[in-house]
A and B are shown apart, each in its own frame.
Chain A
Amino acid sequence: MIKNNVNIKLGGEAGQGVESSGMGFAKAIARAGLYIFGVQDYMSRIRGGHNWYQVRVAERQLYSHEPQIQLLIAFDERTVEEHLPEVVEGGGIIYEEGFKVDEEAIKAQGVIPMPMPLLRIAEEVGGNKLMMNTAAVAAAAGVMEFDLTYIEQVIRDNFGRRKGSEIAERNIRVANAAFEEARKRYAPLFEWKLEPIPNAPKRMVINGNQALGLGALAAGCKFVASYPMTPASSLFEFMCAQARRFGIVVRQSEDEISGLLHCIGAAHAGVRAFACTSGGGFSLMVESLSLAGSTETPVVVVLAQRPGPATGLPTRTGQEDLLFALHAGHGEFPRAVLAPGTIEQCFYEMARAFNLAEKYQMPVILFTDNFLANSLRAIEPKVLDFAKVAAEIDRGKLLLPHQHEKIEAAVKDGYYRYEFTEDGISLRIPPGHPKAVYSVAGEEHLPEGFIDWEERADNRNRMVQKRMKKLEVAAQNDMRLPEFYGPEDAEVTLVCWGSSYGPVREAVDLLNQNGFRANMLHFVDIHPLDWERVADILEGCRSWVTVEGNYSGQLGQWIRMNTGLKPHGVISKYDGRPFNPVYILEHLQEVLARV
């Protein structure tokens, strides 16, 4: 028997409830005190096609999915065909017994076919064939001998409130029937079992976009304007759902240009604001980003990546926009670029993005991608520390128009919005106070804010230097160097950014377990950085290879541009699918062979 260590995949057509069943199953397993990692794969269509959801289960914290699975739950025939190669020897496939499935092919691979009367149970016990999903998930619980009460709870949570508990109770009857039947038939044949951990703490089951949303709320974000775009939409929707409760203004703008401009307007009024989008929408925001740079307006943009160019693979993942975001916008202006890699980092970095934006009065771009946005983990609630975020709120040199006394004390001989200062940061008083009446401009301006109609060279030089100085100060005072995971004295260092964190971390664990000393160097802060110190770190690595979800090794290029140091290789992936630890191991061998 293999206890609490399994990968389960559910597959079917869009509209069959693959994702909701998978997430429900993941939640039930997490409530039993186990750790989960959920990842979804779906196509850009509302019905048909092929979608899947995968849940990995263990007794320790998980950071990635694995390429091989032990139990496959097929909502359609195509799922069996498509995913049979991923099922390990001794694994099983649960499917409706009426499906036309090549059982011999399954058996030939050493996998157990587990046909089940799912349709009959759904119709006879539940009175509705739609309950086949419930039957299938319960059957999976049956073969793994997992305590069904956790699944019953999730069913009640999902259906209990909506149309009366009648639907919930019928689903529960279906679940019980399917569970018993599957256990009787297949549990004795199937090695992998799930056992609840007694007295385990309650954990949150949360994905990356939800963590970003919590981070934004914790940081006091009061304004969101965006245009829906996968994979940023779920973050936008989360903020919309919380708007009333937390007194936030959310606006669905006519396009992404307007979304960021709305945020610039709100931020200019003294409110914490963000826009979220994917690469295509970010392309539209580029002009406005430059305006935020020129007018020193603190805005946050969440750039949730998916593969391009153009519409690319709209429901898949990639890390292709790093160099784009770093250089987006005409002219030179300061910005910060952050790339959280875990759920926890999503929460804290989102909050920190607002602090950096306001402290340095510049736009901040925060990366996520389809993989991180949707990957699901179980974490302890206390890990997301709202009090800590609240204590760290830093609005920089900001005085709001209603803070009369402070403004009276601060403004003596007129207010200069872009006053030259040592650190390049000027006092920010949003419009509304009689002592601080001023006009700002995207055109090159004077310290008081007016356009410099003479276009004087000395004023231009000083303004450019003032703005760019902020990068230097931020790099010294606030930006964080990349961090290692794994043993110090490593043969090879896997260098990565953003969402690759999880798969690379697990790859490092596997390598060390197999006697190969490897570690990871993960960048959350991409720009600005103290590059001399980054160079020192990299020079201390015996060999280093970047692991990136793009074709051209963009982080490697960025490092080389700033330090002159060249990676010894790159493990890249641009097929729209996320990294997994086994993929990294396989490709590391190839890369090292070439070093």
Chain B
Amino acid sequence: MAVAQVSMKNLQSPVEPTWCPGCGDYGILNAVKRALVQLNLRPHEVFFVSGIGCGSKLPDYIRANGFNSLHGRPVPIAQGFKLAHHDMVVIVVDGDGDNYGIGGNHWLHAMRRNINITHIVQNNMVYGLTKGQYAPTSMKGFVSSTSPEGTIEWPINPIAIALAAGATFVARGFAGDPKHLADLIAKGIQHKGYALIDVFQPCVIFNRVNTYDWFRERIYKLEEDKSYDPHDKQMAWEKAHEWGDRIPIGIFYINEDLPTLEEQIPALAEKPLYQQEIPPKLEDLEALKLLFV
């Protein structure tokens, strides 16, 4: 049976986004849809898990399976789901507060496990939905309602942390370039293992520093530098620390040689967990009693 090619229209949700006009999240939603079209993934083959925040509303705005969870908690839910249904494409969409703040520990451990999920972090360097407090990624000196004299903390470096924690696909995109971002997301989905895509997402209301123009003046694409090899972790480490007048986006690092978490679990060798018969065979259970006699 021929399966029709997935189109942007197939992915249209009946729900209208509540994002502010000009929000970077529109670009991210557009890029996510383009990536699914590019890979011809049908709505029932994809499961989005999100946290809480403006960007985490995304599962409602795309026709696919979704789970809008708790602030900072989508990553463990995604892992549990993936292990129970490993044929599903599992994509986490959350924000910098979710992932680099409250859920930081979950993130670290998901990366070192190399579970095959794609993780899009909408990084607007501010808390938007709660109306303008500083975020873990806000630059030093960022003035906000909870840092009226400018924050005295240095920001998280997501790329460097991901490299250190053992992520096997580390990328950064820009909401203002959905086509490039779609390509990164598609590559992240195709990557066998954990894939981070940190996305610069301008918040037009609460972040008047890191604006579209601010990013456009600074960003450049790693793939345009022919000498850059994303398989070289040392190079990636250097690029991860480049910040200021020039900021790289694109794929920082990729390692295709490590097994995923799911591949190493014997119970998942034959078929997804949810398809397996329960309960176990009675004779196997009865045999267990001998351990105790």
Residues of B within 8 A of A264 (CB): 77, 80
Does any Cβ of B come within 8 Å of A117's Cβ?
no
The verdict on A535 contacting chain B, using a C-beta distance below 8 Å, is no
A439 contacts B84, C-beta separation under 8 Å: no
Binds A, one of B42-50, B144-152, B231-239: B42-50
- CB distance A245 to B63 under 8 Å? no
Interface string of A28-42 (1 = CB under 8 A from B): 000100000000000
State the CA gap A439–B11 with chains docked (Å). 13
Q: Which residues does chain B contribute within 8 Å of A204, judged by CB atoms?
A: 289, 292-293
Asked if B274 lies at the interface with its beta carbon under 8 angstroms from chain A, I say: yes
Say yes or no: is A483 at the interface (Cβ < 8 Å to chain B).
Answer: no
Q: Is A258 an interface residue, CB under 8 A from the partner?
A: yes
Question: Which of A210, A249, A259, A433 is in CB contact (< 8 Å) with B265?
Answer: A249
Let me know if B84 and A390 touch, CB within 8 A: no
Residues in B whose Cβ lies below 8 Å from that of A271: 84, 273-274
Interchain CA distance A261-B70 in the complex, whole Å: 10
A299 (CB) vs chain B CBs: closest residue:
B80
Given A202-B293, A203-B293, A269-B274, verify A223-B70 contact (CB < 8 Å).
no
**Whole-angstrom distance between the alpha carbons of A490 and B38 in the complex?**
76
Hey, what's the 0/1 contact readout for B160-199 against A, CB within 8 Å counting as 1?
0000000000000000000000000000000000000000
Check if B73 sits within 8 Å of A261, measured CB to CB.
yes
CB of B73 within 8 A of CB of A266, answer no
B65 partner residues in chain A, CB cutoff 8 A: 431-432, 437-439
Decide: A265 and B279 in contact? CB cutoff 8 A: no
How far, in Å, is A381 (CB) from chain B's closest CB?
5
B83–A223 contact, CB under 8 A? Answer: yes
The bracket for how many chain A residues form the interface is 35 or more
Contacts of A453 in B (CB 8 A): 15, 18
Residues in B with CB closer than 8 Å to A386 are 279, 282, 285-286
Query: Which of A257, A273, A436 contacts B76, CB < 8 Å?
Result: A257
- Determine if B274 and A248 form an interchain contact, defined as CB atoms under 8 angstroms apart: no
The residues in B between 96 and 135 inclusive whose CB is less than 8 angstroms from any CB of A are 105-106, 108-109
Q: How far is the CA of A214 from the CA of B266 in the complex (A)?
A: 20
Any A CB within 8 A of the CB of B284: yes
Known: A261-B76, A288-B73, A441-B60. A266 touches B267 (CB 8 A): no
A-chain residues with CB within 8 Å of residue B68 when the two chains form the complex: 439-443, 451
Number of A-B contacts (CB under 8 A): 207
Q: Mark A95-136 against chain B: 1 for CB-CB distance below 8 A, else 0.
A: 000000000000000000000000000000000000000000
- By the criterion CB–CB under 8 Å, are A225 and B80 in contact? yes
A387 to B286, CA, bound (A): 10
Q: How far is the CA of A291 from the CA of B67 in the complex (A)?
A: 11
B10 to chain A, nearest CB (A): 10
Collect the chain B residues with CB atoms within 8 Å of residue A203's CB: 293
Contacts of A217 in B (CB 8 A): 279-280, 285, 288
Query: Which residues of the other chain, B, contact A268 by a CB distance below 8 angstroms?
Result: 67, 77, 80-81
Known contacts A204-B289, A253-B76, A386-B286: does B47 contact A431 (CB below 8 Å)? yes
Q: Give the docked Cα–Cα distance between A573 and B87 (Å).
A: 51
Contact for A243 among B64, B106, B267, B288, CB less than 8 A: B267
Could you say which of A243, A402, A434 contacts B275, with CB atoms under 8 Å apart? A402
Chain A residue nearest to B72 (CB atoms) is A257
Does more than half of chain B's interface fall in helix, strand or loop, or is it mixed? helix
In the assembled complex, B69 has its CB within 8 A of some CB on chain A = yes
Residue in chain B with minimal CB distance to A438: B65
Bound state CA distance, A469 and B269, in angstroms?
Answer: 41
Question: Nearest chain-B residue to A391 (Cβ)?
Answer: B279
| Number of residues of chain B lying within 8 A (CB) of chain A | 56
Most buried by B among A210, A262, A449: A262
Asked whether, in the complex, the Cβ of A265 is within 8 Å of the Cβ of B43, the reply is no
Query: Would A393 and B79 be within 8 Å (CB), given that A384-B289, A432-B85 are in contact?
Result: no
On chain A, the residues within 8 Å of B82 by CB distance are 265
Q: What is the bound-complex CA distance between A400 and B271, given in angstroms?
A: 14
Within 8 A of B (CB), among A426-457: 430-434, 436-443, 449-451, 453
| Candidates A242, A244, A430; contact of B288 at CB < 8 Å | A242
B residues near A440, Cβ cutoff 8 Å = 66-68
Query: A396 interface residue, CB < 8 Å from B?
Result: no
Residue of A nearest to B107 (CB): A254
The reply to whether B289 and A220 form a contact with Cβ atoms under 8 Å apart is no
B76 partner residues in chain A, CB cutoff 8 A: 253, 257-259, 261-262, 265
| Contact B73–A291 (Cβ < 8 Å) | yes
- List of A residues within 8 angstroms of B52 by Cβ: 442
Question: Distance (Å) between the CB of B101 and the closest chain A CB?
Answer: 14
Determine whether A582 belongs to the interface, using a CB cutoff of 8 Å to chain B: no
Chain A stretch 219-250: residues in CB contact (< 8 A) with chain B? 219-220, 222-223, 225, 242-249
Q: Among B18, B81, B87, B286, find the residue whose CB has the most chain A CB atoms closer than 10 A.
A: B81
Task: Please tell me if the beta carbons of A439 and B67 are within 8 angstroms of each other in the complex.
Answer: yes
Complex-state Cα separation, A495 to B48, whole angstroms = 48
Could you tell me the distance between the alpha carbons of A387 and B266 in the complex, rounded to whole angstroms?
26
**If the complex has contacts A249-B267, A439-B66, A451-B68, are A431 and B85 also in contact, measured as CB distance less than 8 A?**
yes
A325: CB under 8 A from chain B?
no
A450 CB contacts on chain B under 8 angstroms: 15, 60
Given the interface contacts A288-B70, A291-B69, A441-B60, does A247 sit within 8 Å of B79 by beta carbon? no
Q: B57 an interface residue at 8 Å Cβ cutoff?
A: yes
Contacts of A439 in B (CB 8 A): 48, 59-60, 64-68
Asked whether A269 and B275 contact (CB < 8 A) given A386-B286, A451-B68, the answer is no
Partner among B42, B59, B87, B105 whose Cβ is within 8 Å of the Cβ of A254: B105
- How far, in angstroms, from A214 to B279 measured CA to CA in the complex? 12
User: Is B78 an interface position by the 8 A CB rule?
Assistant: yes
When distances are taken between beta carbons in the complex, the residues of chain A under 8 Å from B67 are 265, 268, 295, 439-441
For the complex, give the distance between the alpha carbons of A571 and B104 in Å: 45
- CA A565 to CA B221, docked complex, whole Å: 72
Chain A CB within 8 A of B88 CB: yes
Q: Decide if A263 is an interface residue (CB 8 Å cutoff).
A: yes
Q: Determine whether the beta carbon of A270 is less than 8 Å from that of B84.
A: yes
Distance of A210 Cα from B289 Cα, bound (Å): 11
CA distance A297 to B41 in the complex (A): 26
Q: Is B209 an interface residue (CB 8 A)?
A: no
User: Which residues of chain A come closer than 8 Å to B88, judged between CB atoms?
Assistant: 269, 431-432
Q: Tell me the smallest distance from the CB of B228 to a CB of chain A, in Å.
A: 33
Query: Would B81 and A266 count as touching, CB distance under 8 A?
Result: yes
Cross-chain contact B63 with A437 (CB below 8 angstroms): yes
A387 touches B84 (CB 8 A): no
State A262–B47 Cα separation when bound (angstroms): 15
Assembly CA distance A266 to B67 (angstroms): 12
B80 contacts which chain A residues (CB < 8 A)? 223, 225, 251, 261-269, 273
User: Could you list 20 further interchain pairs (A-B, Cβ under 8 angstroms) beyond the known A222-B276, A246-B284, A386-B285?
Assistant: A243-B267, A247-B276, A253-B76, A261-B77, A263-B80, A265-B82, A270-B84, A271-B274, A273-B80, A381-B292, A386-B286, A390-B279, A400-B274, A401-B85, A401-B274, A432-B44, A439-B66, A439-B67, A443-B68, A450-B15
7 contacts across the A-B interface (CB closer than 8 A): A204-B293, A268-B67, A287-B70, A291-B73, A295-B67, A390-B282, A439-B67
Interface residues in chain B, defined as those with a beta carbon under 8 Å from any beta carbon in chain A:
15, 18, 42-44, 47-49, 52, 57, 59-60, 63-70, 73, 76-85, 87-88, 105-106, 108-109, 265-268, 273-276, 278-280, 282, 284-286, 288-289, 292-293
> A-B pairs with the 3 shortest C-beta distances?
A265-B80, A220-B278, A439-B66
State the A residues within 8 Å of B (CB): 31, 202-206, 210, 214, 217-220, 222-223, 225, 242-249, 251, 253-255, 257-259, 261-273, 287-288, 291, 295, 381, 384, 386-387, 389-390, 393, 400-402, 430-434, 436-443, 449-451, 453
